[in-house]
């Protein structure tokens, strides 16, 4: 029998948006420790790659998670092949995830050229096949899990009124609507009135609608949920450098707290990846933590040169000492 965690969530619920090269294990661990969302999402992973012996070993770290602190957690996959999606969905269930999500919204050209991501909006028939295939894959597992979809309102233009019913016909557990077209990328404000329309279209279907795009914090998310009627709200970019974004009790974050969190994140990064990933990747997170306060620019410049967590710790310690504070042990 399918274990559907979606049915247990209090509305409106809040979810972490999947972001490639961002929502990895160290990043999600930071959120789990400081302000856990109602639903976690992994980075997206190629279903085709997961089913290749060499590719699987390279991609499995993207699917690493801590079942004690991250649940419910959804793994996101992408492909234009129903058979690959079917097999990958089974694998996701086998890895113990609480749900599997199909990416039908990524605007990246390389992904779209494969016929995957947002390109699927142009092929409604194939898109429906993919959802059905994923549902077949998880239903064949001894512990079936729910299937969801994350998409946009259209390719070059708004096609929500024709596109969403195609997905609803396949009856996924939830559909996340990024309220922009693929052409718009993230260059224009999200059109939240289209989330309202999505809720109207989905009414009576039993499919949950999650709104996504430009949500700054919990208060903003609650306001958007009330305005649109969305069952859930997804937060993405606002979580960078702010592991408290889902924490209703943490409204004002001190500079010292941000810098201690940066060091903690760097320690998690180095511990998880070791020498398997260049520490330079950590720089985008450092930049996000260090902003909006005096001398932040100078501190960022120093941190951009850090080659390991020891250097991050030293730079932060020196900055705090100059301000009469100290780094937590």
For the annotated catalytic residues, the residue numbers are: 106
Question: Tens of pLDDT along 76-97?
Answer: 999 999 999 999 999 999 999 9
Structure confidence at residue 329 as a pLDDT band (50, 70, 90): low
What distances in angstroms separate CA 224 from CA 242, 252, 267, one per listed residue? Answer: 20, 22, 35
How confident is the model at residue 293, as a pLDDT? 79
Question: Tens of pLDDT along 172-195?
Answer: 999 999 999 999 999 999 999 999
Question: What are the residue ranges of helices labelled H in the chain?
Answer: 25-34, 47-50, 53-59, 82-94, 109-112, 124-139, 160-169, 192-202, 218-228, 255-273, 283-289, 296-303, 309-322
- Topology at the third CATH level for domain 5-239: TIM Barrel (3.20.20)
How confident is the model at residue 327, as a pLDDT? 60
Q: What is the pTM of this model?
A: 0.95
Question: Tens of pLDDT along 90-125?
Answer: 999 999 999 999 999 999 999 999 999 999 999 999
The pair of structure tokens assigned to 121 is 């909006």
Greater confidence (293 vs 193) lies with: 193
pLDDT surpasses 80 at 328? no
pLDDT surpasses 70 at 16? yes
């Amino acid at each position: 029998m399918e274990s559907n965690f979606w049915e247990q969530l209090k509305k409106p619920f809040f979810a972490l948006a999947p972001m490639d090269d961002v929502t990895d294990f160290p990043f999600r661990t930071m959120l789990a420790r400081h302000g856990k969302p109602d639903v976690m999402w992994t980075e997206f992973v190629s279903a085709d790659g997961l089913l290749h012996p060499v590719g699987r070993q390279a991609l499995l770290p993207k699917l690493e998670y801590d079942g004690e602190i991250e649940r419910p957690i959804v793994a996101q996959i992408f492909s234009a092949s129903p058979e690959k999606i079917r097999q990958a969905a089974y694998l996701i269930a086998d890895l113990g995830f609480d749900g599997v999500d199909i990416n039908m919204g990524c605007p990246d050209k390389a992904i779209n050229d494969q016929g995957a991501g947002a390109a699927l909006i142009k092929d409604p028939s194939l898109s429906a096949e993919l959802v059905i295939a994923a549902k077949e894959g998880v239903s064949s597992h001894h512990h079936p899990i729910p299937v969801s979809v994350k998409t946009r309102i259209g390719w070059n233009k708004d096609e929500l009124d024709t596109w969403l019913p195609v997905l609803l016909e396949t009856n996924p557990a939830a559909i996340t609507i990024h309220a922009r077209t693929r052409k718009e990328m993230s260059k224009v404000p999200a059109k939240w009135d289209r989330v309202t329309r999505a809720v109207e279209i989905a009414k009576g279907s039993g499919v949950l609608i999650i709104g996504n795009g430009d949500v700054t914090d919990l208060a903003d998310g609650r306001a958007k949920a009330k305005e649109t009627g969305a069952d859930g709200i997804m937060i993405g970019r606002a979580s960078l450098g702010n592991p408290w974004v889902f924490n209703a009790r943490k409204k004002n974050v001190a500079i010292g707290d941000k810098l201690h969190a940066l060091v903690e994140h760097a320690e998690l990064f180095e511990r998880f990846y070791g020498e398997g990933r260049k520490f330079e990747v950590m720089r985008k997170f450092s930049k996000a933590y260090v902003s909006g306060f005096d001398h932040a620019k100078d501190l960022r410049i120093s941190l951009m040169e850090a080659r390991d967590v020891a250097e991050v710790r030293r730079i932060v310690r020196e900055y705090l000492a100059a301000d009469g504070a100290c780094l937590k042990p």
